[in-house]
């Protein structure tokens, strides 16, 4: 019982991270019908920026307890950095290819991905060494359920992720700008005929998606602290699993991305705990194949009318 609860808690935490990243894949797909393969790398940059900002502010592993605002400052800086990065990626890598064949854009996305990984490895950027993220949040136990310790970090991960998803839902379905996003996702030209400035909506989509990926990166660094070097394969794999989450949920569908993220997180953790810890990546891809066999458009793909 304790084991199962602990596993579910882990699944919930990692699933929230996948969901946050998956939202960026699905938003961009909804608006431009292409897979931004560099999105996983934006997540990596988000995690590393959190580390770099923390270090620049003087918070290190050895430095004692940081003040309460440290986590907030680091989170916001990291989101800001990635928001700007997302803006520039769209503006200079993808916009010139707006009317080019899909394949060209896809290849460009892979190029951007490699560029981010390898730029991240440069000495003045993040360097080639793995680092440990200092604990910006105290390691307090909030409560215990059936022997499972629920710590501040876990609760922060889940609550912050949920808050951002709720915020995004509100933005997309309850605001004027959200209507513009949904209109553009249906048809760029008809959206333009409504007076919507399509390029602005597309830029904004990248900005929001990248900021969410940065938040996921920050939370990842909070929870796991060990950051592999920027070009390490673990980042690629994390990004890939988040992409799988978006596909499993139904690419282009916001609720689908969140559901897919949680599902992937749970399956990965349950498999690791009860089958074999060495095959945790395998379960994710088996789930992908299973879902696509029975529902090629993903769980929420074709049934839902609301798409972004």
Partner 1 sequence: MSLVAPGHPLLELQDLHVHYGAIHAIKGISLSVRQGEILTLIGSNGAGKSTTLRAISALVRASGGRILYRGHAIQGYRADQVVGMGIAHCPEGRGVFPAFTVRENLEVGAFLRKDREGIEADIETAFTRFPVLRQRARQPAGTLSGGEQQMLAISRALMCRPALLLLDEPSLGLAPQVVQTIFAIIREINRAGTTILLVEQNAHMALQVAHQACVLDVGTVVASGPAADLARSDEVKKAYLGGH
Q: Can you give the binding site for partner 1, defined by CB under 8 A?
A: 176, 179-180, 182-183, 186-187, 189-190, 192-198, 305-307
- Please classify residue 304 by burial: count the beta carbons closer than 10 Å to its beta carbon, then call 0-12 exposed, 13-18 middle and 19+ buried: middle
Beta carbon nearer to partner 1, 50 or 183 = 183
Q: How far is the CB of 307 from partner 1 (least distance, A)?
A: 6
Beta carbon nearer to partner 1, 123 or 176 = 176
Q: How far is the CB of 166 from partner 1 (least distance, A)?
A: 21
| Whether the Cβ atoms of residue 211 and residue 83 lie closer than 8 Å to each other | yes
Q: How far is the CB of 14 from partner 1 (least distance, A)?
A: 31
Beta carbon nearer to partner 1, 27 or 38 = 27
Q: How far is the CB of 193 from partner 1 (least distance, A)?
A: 5
Q: How far is the CB of 99 from partner 1 (least distance, A)?
A: 11
Residue found by looking up tokens 């699933």 in the block: 15
Beta carbon nearer to partner 1, 189 or 278 = 189
CA-closest candidate to residue 89, choices 223, 239, 258, 209: 209
Beta carbon nearer to partner 1, 119 or 179 = 179
Torsion of CA 31, 37, 42, 43, to 10 degrees: 100
- Coil, strand or helix at 193: helix
Give me the residues paired with residue 145 across strands.
148
- Note the helical H segments in the chain: 2-32, 39-56, 69-88, 102-120, 152-174, 176-186, 188-193, 198-224, 233-249, 254-274, 280-294
Residue found by looking up tokens 């992720």 in the block: 161
Beta carbon nearer to partner 1, 64 or 101 = 101
Q: How far is the CB of 198 from partner 1 (least distance, A)?
A: 7
CA distance 17 to 203: 23
Phi/psi of residue 12, nearest 5 degrees: -65, -45
Beta carbon nearer to partner 1, 149 or 186 = 186
* Alpha-carbon separation of residue 279 from 6, 236, 293 (angstroms): 19, 17, 21
Beta carbon nearer to partner 1, 124 or 195 = 195
CA-closest candidate to residue 281, choices 238, 251, 233: 238
Structure token digits, residue 99: 């009317």
């Amino acid at each position: 019982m304790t084991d199962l609860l602990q596993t579910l808690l882990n699944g919930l935490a990692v699933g929230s991270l996948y969901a946050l990243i998956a939202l960026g894949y699905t938003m961009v797909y909804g608006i431009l019908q292409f897979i931004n393969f560099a999105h996983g790398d934006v997540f990596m940059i988000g995690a590393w920026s959190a580390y770099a900002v923390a270090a620049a502010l003087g918070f290190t592993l050895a430095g004692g307890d940081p003040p309460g605002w440290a986590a907030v400052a680091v989170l916001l800086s990291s989101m800001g950095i990635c928001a700007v990065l997302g803006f520039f990626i769209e503006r200079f890598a993808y916009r010139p290819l707006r009317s080019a064949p899909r394949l060209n854009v896809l290849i460009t996305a892979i190029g951007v991905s490699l560029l981010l990984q390898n730029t991240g490895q440069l000495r003045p950027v993040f360097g080639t060494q793995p680092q440990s993220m200092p604990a910006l949040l105290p390691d307090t136990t909030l409560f215990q359920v059936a022997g499972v310790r629920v710590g501040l970090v876990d609760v922060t991960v889940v609550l912050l992720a949920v808050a951002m998803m709720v915020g995004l839902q509100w933005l997309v379905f309850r605001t004027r700008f959200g209507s513009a996003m949904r209109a553009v996702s249906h048809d760029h030209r008809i959206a333009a005929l409504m007076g919507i400035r399509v390029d602005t909506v597309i830029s904004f989509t990248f900005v929001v998606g990248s900021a969410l990926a940065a938040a996921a990166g920050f939370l990842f660094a909070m929870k796991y602290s060990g950051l592999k070097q920027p070009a390490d394969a673990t980042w690629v794999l994390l990004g890939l699993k988040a992409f799988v989450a978006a596909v499993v949920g139904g690419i282009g569908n916001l609720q689908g991305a969140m559901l897919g993220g949680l599902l992937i997180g749970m399956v990965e953790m349950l498999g690791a705990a009860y089958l074999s810890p060495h095959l945790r990546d395998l379960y994710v891809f088996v789930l992908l194949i299973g879902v696509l066999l029975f529902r090629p458009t993903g769980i929420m793909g074709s049934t839902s009318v609301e798409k972004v």
